[in-house]
Amino acid sequence: MLVARTPEGPVAGRRVAITGLGAVSCAGLGVDALWSALHEPVAPPTKRVEPFDASHIAGPKELRRLDPFTLYALVAADEAWRQSGLTGPLEDAGSIVTTGIGGLQSILAQVEVMRERGPGRVSPFMVPMMMPNAATAAVSMRFGLGGPCETVTTACAAGTHAIGNGARLVASGRCPVVVAGGAEAVLVEIAEAGFRNMTALSASDLSRPFDVDRDGFVMGEGAGILVLEDWEHAEARGARILAEVLGAASTADAYHITAPDPEGRGAVRSMRLALEDAQLEPGAISHINAHGTSTPLNDLAEAVAVARVFGHSVPPVTSVKGHLGHSLAAAGALEAVASVMTLIDQVIPPTAGTTNVDPQIPLDVVHGAPRPARVETVLSNSFGFGGHNGSVILRRVES
């Protein structure tokens, strides 16, 4: 049930509208490409973002000075900004674009330059290309956003944290608009070797979240961006409101640097706090867009946590990582984009790669084909190395 809001409630403040969506993923450029791919029963053949024409973003010289993660963020933000219909500059508007690792490709390229040609030939642009805040800085400059410009680096929870933190800035009245999301581009040999040697990656290179035969995640890359806006601000300018951010939460497991708490205690608190923030009972959630990485421990811990929060009334669950792989800090942002599209189209995408749900996982995992459903609210979860937990709740808007 939806609990009536009061001025003293945990979500006292301004309503937070979503007025723009943008995406870059292995499915291609744009939200339409992403959403179309998520309806397919099988995943795209590669989890890489294929080369694309970015001349609408900048000229060749400027593009060479952007690490791919920054470029992905700019392309996704440009799509979201154009859909929102906003124009800058906006002195009080904010940007929170996150990353888990930052400009790793730029670092590796310049290490090679130094090794082969000496330190004097290292690019003077290396530091602004590699720094984790490069993407959010680039977004703020492109659209003239003069408010808070921040980066949350909380591993695989960062994209969801960006949306939650951005929503807080809007709800508090600090910012009328916040561009929020995450970007990642670390599909390189050393990153894959690191994850593989810690036995986090799938030996079969197949992502199959919640499946009895899951054996690890598959690395992905890309960016997801949402434009968050004060509801009255959006209405006053006649914007199309796509969905509403009702609540969000962030907690820590305080347990282990990489392994999740097997009891899911931090995840339970994150979901419950998000529900409290939204002033919703668990039964009001229509659908869960899960973290669902396809690792044995993470999927089981998430299922345990969801069961503790929802009891015997767990709503349908999906993980888009079966299609997109795990794009670290971009994952939660891309999942939020998918969640908004679920609210708009009233269809839950299937979990690609999953054919036989683990009997130890008491969830209604949508797989095989898209499922039409009445979806009023979506809970989207993200959990990251370091014990970071993030949850955000989105609500459908009558069109």
Which residues are the active-site residues?
156, 291, 326
Q: Kindly give the interhelix angle for 189-197 and 104-117, rounded to the nearest 10 degrees.
A: 120
The set of residues, in sequence order, having a beta carbon less than 8 Å from that of 151 and lying 6+ positions away, is 96, 97, 98, 99, 132, 133, 135, 136
Residue 110 CA, distance from chain mean position? 29
283 and 313 Cβ atoms separated by less than 8 Å: yes
Residue 153 CA, distance from chain mean position? 13
Specify the amino acid at residue 267.
A
End-to-end CA gap in the chain: 22
Tokens for 278? 């939204």
If you write DSSP's letter for every residue of 262-329 in order, what string do you get? TT-HHHHHHHHHHHHHHTB-GGG--EEE----S-HHHHHHHHHHHHHHHTT-PPPEE-THHHH-B-TH
Angle formed at CA 14 by CA 243 and CA 236, multiple of 5 degrees = 70
